[in-house]
Chain A
C-alpha cells in the first residue's frame, strides 16, 4: 500500500507547544497523495504560522510554501535560531517568501 503520511518534528518554542498538547516527539500526519504545502500543514495542525521561520524537508531547508508529499521527513523551525546556520542553511530567507530556495511547483 502506498505511504500516506509524513513524519513531522517541531523544534524550539514549537516543541514546547507539542509537549503542552501531549503529542509524541515524531508526529505522523496523513497528507493527501497530491501533497500539502508547509503553510497548509501548519494551519491544519493549528500551529502559529507567524512564528515559523522555515522547514526542513528531507534534511534540506525549504520555504514554507514547499509542497510536502507522503513519505517526506519534515521539521518546522521557529523564529529565533542562533548560530551561523540560520543563514548558511537558508532559514533566514525561507519563511519570508524570498526566492532563496526555489519552490517545487507551488506558488
Chain B
C-alpha cells in the first residue's frame, strides 16, 4: 500500500491519502509527471501558489533491487517554463519508500514569504512542519550540520535541502539530497526546482528511516532471484563492473575530447588543450594520492558504485568527485584545466545550491561576453560567490546561461527550452543533438541517454556525422530512460541491460515479483511512453511548439573544429521523435 502525502504550505496542514488506482503502476518520473500534468495548470506561475513540487521515489525504491533507489523531483520549471523531472541519487528515495510514501506533494504558498520551514518525517510515520527561520540563508553543508544537531545521535535519516540560491528564487537553483555519509552532495539539479522549493518557504525535508525494514515484495523468492541475476550483470559488465567504479563518469573527458565533441570555451571549439588536467584518469590519481574514497554508492543498494570523494591538498573532503558533466561545464567550457579549481567551483555550486551544468554553461557565456576571461578560475569562483550573496550581478548569473547571455549581449547562447546544453557538442555527434532538441526537459543529456541506442534499435552503429536513424534512436532512448527513471533505476544500469539479455529480462521480473502484476518489456516501454506523453502534453499546454524543439542557430551554421561539422538533422526528423504521443494520449484518455 503506497500513499500520497500532501503538505499545504498555505495552512501548514499535512494529509495522507492512498495512491489512486490509475497510478498504481507508477513511481518516480511517471508519477511526478502524471501529478504535475493532472494538478498543475500549465499556465501557472512556476513560483506561485499554483505550482506543486513533487518528490517521488522510483517504483522499486526501498526494495533490494540493485541501483533502484533514485528520487524524482517534479514541478513546472521556472527555468524552462515546461514540465520538469529532475533525478537525484542519495538516501531520500529509499527512506520515503520505506515509509510507504509514493509521492510527497508540496503545494500552496505560505502567507509569510520571510518564514522558513522544515518538514520532518519520522520513522514512526508521524509528520510535522516546523518553523526554521534560523536556517534562513544557510549554505547546504552548514544546513546539513544544523539538521544533524536536531537529530538523536543514533538516528538514520536523509535530508533534502535548499541553498541560498533557491531561497532567492534563482532559476538555476537545485535541490540537494544527502548521500550515505550525510553530505548534501547529490542534486536534483536541473530546471530550477530549488527556486520552486524556495517559493514554498521550505528549507529542508528530513526523512528518518531508522529501524525500518525494506519494502516487502509480493513474491519475495522471485524478487530475490531476479535481483541476483541483475546484480550479477551489473557487477560483471565491462562498463558498470569495471570502468565506472574505477574512474567514474569523468573517464569520458579524454574520449569525447578525442572525438572533437568536448565543448570548449562556450562551444567555440571541440577539443580542449587542457583536458589532461581534468580527465577522469587524472582525477583518480589525485584522489588516490590524497586518500580519498574512490568507490562508493550514492545510495544504499547501489552495486556499481561510481561515486568518489574529492579531497583538497591537505587530504580533507572537498566535494563529491565531480561528474563528467560538472567537470566539463566548470572546466573545459570555461577554459579551466585545473582539477583543484574545478573541485572548488563544484563545491561552491553545492554550497549555494545551483545546478553545476547550468552554472558552468552560464560561466562560459559570461566569459564569452568578455566581462571575465576564459580560464580565470578565481573570477569564476567570485561570480558563483556573488550568486550566493545575491548581489545585483549574482541575481542575473543565478538565473542561468540564457539570462546571462541576454544581459551581456552574447551571440552564442547554448540553450534549448531556456536550459543550458550539457557536455557533448551535437555537431560531431548528431544523435545527442536530437535528444537535446526534442527532450521534454530542455537540453538534457540524461533525458535520452543515447548510449546503448543502436542496440535498442537493431544493432549496428549510427554514423556520428550522419543524420540517418538518429531520430528513431533518440526516441527509443528517451522512452527507455523515462522507464528507468520511473522504476527508480540509475541510468548506468543501461549498459549491462542492453548488452546482456538476462539483465534486461530481470527488470520486468523484478517489477512483476514486487507488484504481483504481470510485466514484460512492452509494458515497461509503455511506462516510458506514458511518462513522455504527460510531459509533452503539459508542454504543449504551456505554449511550446515545434519551434521549441530546435537547437540554437549557431549549431546549424558555425562549423566546429576539428571536423568542421554542423548539426544537420532535419526539422521533419526532429518532429518525428514524439510521433507516439497522440496514440498514447488516446489510450490514457487524456488526448
Give the docked Cα–Cα distance between A100 and B252 (Å).
21
Q: Is the CB of A88 within 8 A of B243?
A: no
Verify if B460 is at the interface (C-beta below 8 Å from A): yes
Q: Is the CB of A84 within 8 A of B460?
A: no
Give the docked Cα–Cα distance between A81 and B460 (Å).
17
List the A side residues contacting B239 at CB < 8 Å: 79-82, 86
Select one of B255, B463, B563 contacting A85, CB under 8 A. B255
List the B side residues contacting A87 at CB < 8 Å: 450-455, 461-462
List the A side residues contacting B238 at CB < 8 Å: 79-80
Contact with B along A3-32 (1 / 0, CB 8 A): 000000101110110010000010000000
Select one of A12, A59, A60, A61 contacting B247, CB under 8 A. A12
Verify if A71 is at the interface (C-beta below 8 Å from B): no
Q: Is the CB of A83 within 8 A of B563?
A: no
Give the docked Cα–Cα distance between A70 and B526 (Å).
52
What total of chain A residues lie within 8 Å of the partner, measured CB to CB? 32
Give the docked Cα–Cα distance between A83 and B280 (Å).
13
Select one of B259, B445, B455, B477 contacting A61, CB under 8 A. B259
Select one of B424, B460, B562 contacting A59, CB under 8 A. B562
A9-B254, A12-B243, A25-B276 known; A84 and B259 CB under 8 Å? Answer: no
List the A side residues contacting B261 at CB < 8 Å: 85
Verify if A35 is at the interface (C-beta below 8 Å from B): no
Q: Is the CB of A81 within 8 A of B243?
A: yes
Considering residues B251, B260, B455, B461, which has the most beta carbons from chain A within 10 angstroms of its beta carbon? B461
A59-B563, A89-B259 known; A83 and B464 CB under 8 Å? Answer: no
Give the docked Cα–Cα distance between A15 and B247 (Å).
11
Q: Is the CB of B449 within 8 A of A84?
A: yes
Verify if B408 is at the interface (C-beta below 8 Å from A): no
Verify if A66 is at the interface (C-beta below 8 Å from B): no
Q: Is the CB of A83 within 8 A of B258?
A: no
Q: Is the CB of A83 within 8 A of B431?
A: no
Give the docked Cα–Cα distance between A25 and B254 (Å).
12
Contact with B along A68-102 (1 / 0, CB 8 A): 00000001011111111111111111000010100
Give the docked Cα–Cα distance between A79 and B242 (Å).
9
List the A side residues contacting B462 at CB < 8 Å: 87-88
Considering residues B244, B276, B449, B454, which has the most beta carbons from chain A within 10 angstroms of its beta carbon? B454
Contact with A along B248-266 (1 / 0, CB 8 A): 0101101110111100000
Distance (whole angstroms) from the CB of B332 to the closest CB of chain A: 15
Give the docked Cα–Cα distance between A62 and B528 (Å).
34
Q: Is the CB of B281 within 8 A of A15?
A: yes
A82-B243, A84-B432, A87-B451 known; A16 and B259 CB under 8 Å? Answer: no
Distance (whole angstroms) from the CB of A63 to the closest CB of chain B: 11
Q: Is the CB of A80 within 8 A of B461?
A: no
Distance (whole angstroms) from the CB of A81 to the closest CB of chain B: 6
Distance (whole angstroms) from the CB of B307 to the closest CB of chain A: 13
List the A side residues contacting B271 at CB < 8 Å: 59
Q: Is the CB of B453 within 8 A of A88?
A: yes
List the B side residues contacting A77 at CB < 8 Å: 255, 258
Please, which residue of chain B has its CB at the minimum distance from the CB of A77? B255
Give the docked Cα–Cα distance between A82 and B251 (Å).
8
Q: Is the CB of B249 within 8 A of A83?
A: yes
Give the docked Cα–Cα distance between A91 and B258 (Å).
12
Verify if B534 is at the interface (C-beta below 8 Å from A): no
Distance (whole angstroms) from the CB of B446 to the closest CB of chain A: 10
Give the docked Cα–Cα distance between A60 and B563 (Å).
9
Contact with B along A38-69 (1 / 0, CB 8 A): 00000000000000000010011100000000
A56-B259, A59-B258 known; A85 and B424 CB under 8 Å? Answer: yes
Please, which residue of chain B has its CB at the minimum distance from the CB of A90? B461
Verify if B267 is at the interface (C-beta below 8 Å from A): no
List the B side residues contacting A81 at CB < 8 Å: 239, 243, 251-252, 255
Q: Is the CB of A11 within 8 A of B449?
A: no
Closest 3 A-B residue pairs measured CB to CB? A80-B243, A84-B450, A79-B238
17 additional A-B pairs beyond A83-B249, A83-B256, beta carbons within 8 Å, are A9-B258, A12-B243, A12-B254, A56-B258, A56-B259, A59-B563, A60-B563, A77-B255, A81-B251, A81-B255, A82-B244, A83-B255, A83-B451, A85-B261, A85-B432, A87-B450, A89-B464
Residue contacts A-B, CB under 8 angstroms, 30 given: A9-B258, A11-B255, A11-B258, A11-B281, A12-B243, A12-B246, A12-B281, A13-B242, A15-B254, A19-B285, A59-B260, A60-B259, A61-B464, A75-B254, A79-B238, A79-B243, A84-B424, A84-B477, A85-B255, A86-B451, A87-B452, A87-B453, A87-B461, A88-B429, A88-B453, A88-B462, A90-B463, A90-B464, A93-B461, A100-B461
